[in-house]
């Protein structure tokens, strides 16, 4: 009986297995999915020896390592059965001691690589082309990586060195020239590889760079191994020095030191254009053209500088020089004297002619470049003092990259500053598509957009996330995105096993570690702030320092882009905020963190109270006491108070959410009650509902029936204002029951007057009048003029709806008198509008217009924006009735602008009214 085969594939269908780089299996020309884990490890260990029997012991070592199952033979048999279902039963043969992958050696890239590598020169060049990366990527097997993989890597490196030798002996530039620097960096102590890199640079006319590379490997060997390079590498260095001395009197070679361009480079069109414009100045500049590209670590400053420089090389016929100044990192920054020696050597100055004095080196550097048009990239600079000695005199262009702004260079050396910010969403999407190698990477723009948002549109984070997707294909885009949603562990997604210095956390850490202790503490504590931006005063309260000190510390953080100034506040990149919070938790004691959060909460709560006292002083006695929340700011005017409230509203909402999550229900309640009148007057209705819903839930947890009633009253008002009268009625009824149950006659009166008006809106006029009278009687009983004014105004509105305008006018005028006595401009404006509406209905149009104008002036004074829009629309209606269509249009346009600004649902209806008026004009 013939063996069964995988459904959909005929027996004997071609099978190809790729293990040199990303794991891939092709069955009959189609990619076959092999589950990550044990099946993939099994297929890989069999494929290493195609056509040969592999023992059960070796299979177990590759699949399980030291954690082997109790019955190894049975477990291997089960695993083989599962793999056969994937690739076909005829692909794996069984013997008593093991299994064999029944394919020809040429079906496996490793076997082809080894065979070609042992053949003649042309064949082994073909072998190098098969190498697509580290072997067994995507295969979870320590044995394959550490034993087989290391042997394959050694074979590959030997082949690379053989290829370089062949090309150099023939006087040609090696085909692998572009890969040699990266290979040497990946194998820092393989002197034979460094030897060939140095020879390749020298033979390519780049002796200065060759000498620089020798200095690099010599220093590293000395620092980490405590010895000198081997004799072969020292001999190559001696030959370079001899040749350098022989050619010292000849014309200097043209240095070409730019690192490799990143093929994934995306966007930055504005910055590239600015660099183009600067380069144009070098043709007639009598001074050095200096550009400083600055931004937070990981923003792609070096990538931008190198990419532009590669495109602009023809503009600089005398060469380009690159040096990493290591301003931020685990090693000490390169001092000016050392940097100048490297720059001079790169520019063709023989080593024995480089002065020992730093100032003399700087002077020689300027002299050397005086008649040459060169591009110099000074990468990763720490400060202006590190840069100034390295600036040439004239004719050349210097690009400095730094995490500091280097404002001193702009002030004294006329440097042009290019601030590199996060990528746009489109550019982030494009970068992810370029960086990903998985088949599904570009199929879901929405998924890519979410991934980019979670990466904060930071280029380094985007690339690392893309790499993570590529090396974990079993989890894919959805799995990596899910990991990033967990903010507590987000930075772990950007970790790499083989380059710890290039993770997001490491890049941020290198900037953080350069801070002074007080600035570092401020940075950590900012991670505790729940909002997106923070003021100087709030940051100072958080850190418990005077405001001038807080301003200075934030300035220090801004100079290194750990925070960014935005509209009199400071913002922080999302990933930086995560890093700050993580670092704070690791370093600062729990008690210190809690004390800092308490100071922050108290600052916002106390300042919100003082702002409301300045903005709406007549309602001060109806807001909660601020005992226990000291330290609020003071406001001289209502405008200043409203400006603070407008700028801090989203922070206040964030504070409420944070306080709710951290178990501080009293603070949530006090914040909601304090801000009620503000969110009402400024029409921040959705935010008001959010805040009061949180607060009412907190009151429920505290079993505080009285406070719950107040919050229900406020929620009813918000529902009424968004046009949901039924929901408003339910909230007001709950409020009335709560107040009545606690004996709070003032609260019951407020609930009755609000319930009265909403009953009238749903057509229940009898109950509306009864509730309004109840509210008025309660106000008279407790001698509360505010409650009386509310009730009188509402009764006036209800009577108007019933057509009883004479009675309505009387109630409105009594309410107006009380409003003026209490100096309540917002309430007065509301009552004036009611009275104007009644007068208009009675035919007294000019009086109505005058009342609306007075109401309009008061709404503008108090910042009551929706009230302003309502008054404008009423005036427009009176103008329309009088035939003054142009004036009506003007009033309606102003009202529509307010509604559009507020984002309220009335905007569409007003837009329709405007269109009708324009058609009639």
Q: To 5 degrees, how large is the angle CA 800–CA 804–CA 807?
A: 95
pLDDT grade for 440, boundaries at 50, 70 and 90: very low
What is the pLDDT, as a whole number, of residue 284? Answer: 59
Residues 6+ apart with CB under 8 A from 501: 329, 330
Structure tokens at 858: 């008061």
Rounded CA separation 917/921 (Å) = 6
**Is a pLDDT exceeding 90 seen at residue 620?**
no
Q: Which helix (H) or strand (E) holds 564?
A: strand 564-566
Give the mean pLDDT of 441-461.
82
pLDDT grade for 499, boundaries at 50, 70 and 90: low
> With contact defined as beta carbons under 8 Å apart, do 118 and 27 qualify?
no
List, for residues 624-645, the tens digit of each pLDDT value.
766 655 667 889 898 899 999 9
Q: How many CA atoms lie within 13 A of 174 on its CB side?
A: 26
List, for residues 841-870, the tens digit of each pLDDT value.
888 988 988 998 998 898 888 888 888 888
pLDDT grade for 181, boundaries at 50, 70 and 90: confident
Query: What's this model's pTM, rounded to 2 decimal places?
Result: 0.63
What is the pLDDT, as a whole number, of residue 439? Answer: 44
pLDDT grade for 283, boundaries at 50, 70 and 90: low
The Cα-based distances of 175 to 120, 164, 179, 660, 857 in angstroms read 17, 8, 9, 63, 80
What is the pLDDT, as a whole number, of residue 224? Answer: 73
What is the pLDDT, as a whole number, of residue 501? Answer: 59
3-state secondary structure 675-701: HHHHHHHCCCHHHHHHHHHHHHHHHHH
> With contact defined as beta carbons under 8 Å apart, do 188 and 217 qualify?
yes
Give the mean pLDDT of 658-680.
92
Mean pLDDT of the chain: 85
What is the pLDDT, as a whole number, of residue 443? Answer: 55
Tokens 């591009």 found at: 375
List, for residues 44-100, the tens digit of each pLDDT value.
889 888 888 888 888 888 888 878 887 888 888 888 888 888 888 888 888 777 898
Tokens 């206040």 found at: 652
Out of 358-362, 584-588, 601-605, 616-620, which region has the weakest mean confidence (pLDDT)?
Answer: 616-620
Q: Which helix (H) or strand (E) holds 557?
A: helix 547-559
Rounded CA separation 248/216 (Å) = 23
**Is a pLDDT exceeding 50 seen at residue 431?**
yes
CA of residue 296 relative to chain centroid, distance: 11
**Is a pLDDT exceeding 70 seen at residue 682?**
yes
Cβ-based neighbour number of residue 703 at 10 Å: 8
What is the pLDDT, as a whole number, of residue 9? Answer: 47
pLDDT grade for 244, boundaries at 50, 70 and 90: low
Out of 424-433, 523-532, 746-755, 879-888, which region has the weakest mean confidence (pLDDT)?
Answer: 879-888
What the chain holds in terms of domains, given with CATH numbers, is 1-170 (1.10.10.10), 269-419 (3.40.50.300), 425-433+448-505 (no CATH), 514-588 (1.10.10.10), 644-864 (1.25.40.10)
What is the pLDDT, as a whole number, of residue 441? Answer: 46
For a pLDDT cut of 70, what percent of the chain falls above it? 93
Residue 647: φ, ψ to 5°: -75, -25
Strand order in the sheet with 98-101: 53-55, 98-101, 92-95
**Is a pLDDT exceeding 60 seen at residue 676?**
yes
Name the residue among 802, 877, 864 with its Cα closest to residue 831.
Answer: 864
């Amino acid at each position: 009986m013939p063996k069964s085969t995988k459904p959909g594939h005929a027996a004997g269908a071609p099978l190809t297995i790729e293990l040199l780089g990303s794991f891939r299996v092709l069955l009959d020309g189609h990619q076959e999915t092999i589950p990550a884990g044990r099946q993939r490890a099994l297929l890989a260990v069999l494929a290493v020896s195609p056509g040969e029997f592999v023992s059960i012991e070796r299979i177990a070592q590759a699949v399980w390592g030291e954690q082997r199952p109790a019955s190894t033979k049975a477990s291997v048999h089960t695993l083989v059965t599962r793999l056969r279902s994937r690739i076909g039963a005829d692909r794996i043969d069984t013997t008593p001691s093991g299994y064999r992958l029944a394919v020809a050696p040429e079906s496996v890239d490793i076997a082809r690589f080894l065979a070609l590598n042992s053949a003649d020169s042309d064949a082994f060049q073909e072998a190098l082309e098969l190498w697509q990366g580290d072997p067994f990527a995507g295969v979870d097997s320590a044995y394959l990586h550490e034993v087989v993989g290391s042997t394959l890597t050694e074979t590959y490196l030997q082949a690379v060195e053989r290829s370089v030798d062949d090309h150099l002996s023939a006087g040609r530039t090696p085909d692998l020239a572009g890969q040699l620097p990266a290979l040497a960096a990946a194998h820092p102590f393989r002197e034979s590889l460094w030897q060939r890199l140095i020879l390749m640079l020298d033979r390519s006319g780049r002796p200065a760079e060759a000498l620089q590379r020798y200095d690099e490997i010599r220093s590293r060997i000395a620092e980490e191994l405590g010895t000198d390079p081997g004799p072969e590498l020292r001999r190559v260095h001696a030959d370079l020095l001899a040749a350098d001395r022989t050619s010292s009197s000849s014309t200097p070679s043209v240095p070409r030191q730019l690192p490799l361009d990143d093929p994934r480079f995306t966007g930055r069109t504005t910055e590239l254009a600015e660099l183009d414009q600067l380069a144009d100045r070098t043709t007639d500049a009598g001074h050095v053209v200096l550009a400083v590209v600055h931004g937070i670590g990981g923003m792609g400053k070096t990538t931008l500088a190198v990419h532009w420089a590669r495109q602009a090389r023809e503009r600089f016929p005398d060469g380009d020089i690159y040096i990493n100044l290591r301003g931020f990192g685990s090693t000490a920054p390169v001092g000016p004297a050392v940097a100048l020696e490297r720059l001079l050597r790169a520019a063709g100055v023989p080593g024995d002619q480089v002065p020992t004095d730093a100032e003399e080196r700087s002077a020689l550097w300027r002299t050397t470049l005086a008649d040459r048009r060169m591009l110099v990239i000074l990468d990763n600079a720490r400060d202006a003092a590190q840069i100034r000695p390295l600036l040439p005199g004239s004719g050349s262009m210097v690009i400095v990259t730094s995490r500091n702004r280097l404002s001193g260079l702009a002030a004294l050396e006329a440097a042009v500053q290019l601030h590199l910010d996060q990528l746009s969403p489109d550019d982030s999407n494009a970068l992810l598509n370029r960086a990903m190698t998985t088949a599904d990477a570009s199929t879901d723009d929405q998924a890519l957009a979410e991934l980019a948002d979670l990466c904060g549109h930071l280029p380094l984070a985007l690339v690392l996330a893309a790499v993570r997707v590529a090396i974990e294909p079993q989890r894919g885009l959805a799995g990596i995105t899910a990991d990033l949603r967990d903010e507590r562990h987000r930075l772990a997604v950007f970790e790499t096993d083989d380059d710890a210095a290039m993770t997001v956390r490491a890049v941020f850490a290198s900037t953080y570690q350069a801070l002074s202790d007080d600035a570092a503490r401020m940075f950590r504590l900012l991670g505790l702030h729940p909002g997106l931006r923070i003021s100087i005063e709030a940051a100072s309260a958080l850190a418990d320092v005077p405001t001038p000190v807080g301003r200075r510390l934030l300035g220090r953080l801004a100079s290194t882009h750990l925070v960014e100034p935005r509209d009199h506040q400071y913002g922080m990149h999302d990933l930086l905020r995560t890093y700050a919070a993580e670092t704070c938790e690791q370093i600062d004691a729990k008690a210190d963190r809690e004390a800092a959060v308490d100071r922050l909460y108290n600052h916002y709560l106390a300042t919100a109270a003082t702002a409301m006292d300045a903005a709406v002083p007549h309602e001060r006695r109806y807001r909660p006491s601020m005992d226990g929340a000291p330290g609020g700011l003071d406001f001289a005017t209502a405008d200043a108070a409203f400006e603070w409230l407008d700028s801090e509203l989203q922070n206040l909402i964030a504070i409420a959410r944070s306080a709710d999550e951290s178990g501080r229900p009293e603070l949530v309640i006090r914040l909601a009650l304090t801000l009620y009148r503000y969110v009402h007057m400024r029409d921040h209705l959705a935010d008001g509902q959010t805040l009061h819903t949180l607060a009412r839930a907190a009151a429920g947890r505290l079993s505080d029936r009285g406070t719950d009633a107040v919050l229900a009253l406020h929620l009813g008002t918000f529902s009424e204002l968004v046009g949901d009268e039924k929901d408003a009625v339910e909230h007001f009824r709950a409020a009335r029951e709560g107040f009545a149950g606690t004996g709070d006659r003032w609260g019951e009166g407020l609930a009755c007057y609000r319930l009265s008006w909403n009953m009238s809106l749903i057509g229940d006029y009898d109950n509306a009048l009864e509730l309004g009278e109840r509210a008025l009687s309660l106000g008279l009983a407790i001698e509360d003029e505010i409650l009386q004014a509310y009730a009188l105004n509402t009764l006036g509105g209800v009577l108007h709806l019933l057509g009883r305008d004479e009675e309505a006018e009387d109630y409105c005028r009594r309410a107006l008198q009380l409003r003026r006595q209490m100096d309540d401009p917002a309430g007065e404006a509301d009552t004036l509008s009611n009275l104007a509406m009644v007068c208009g209905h009675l035919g007294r149009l000019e009086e109505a217009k005058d009342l609306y104008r007075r109401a309009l002036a008061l709404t503008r004074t108090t910042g009551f924006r929706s009230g302003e829009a309502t008054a404008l629309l009423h005036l427009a209606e009176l103008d329309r009735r009088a035939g003054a269509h142009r004036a009506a249009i003007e009033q309606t346009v102003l009202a529509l602008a307010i509604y559009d600004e507020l984002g309220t649902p009335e905007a569409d209806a007003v837009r329709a009214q405007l269109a009708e008026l324009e058609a009639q004009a």
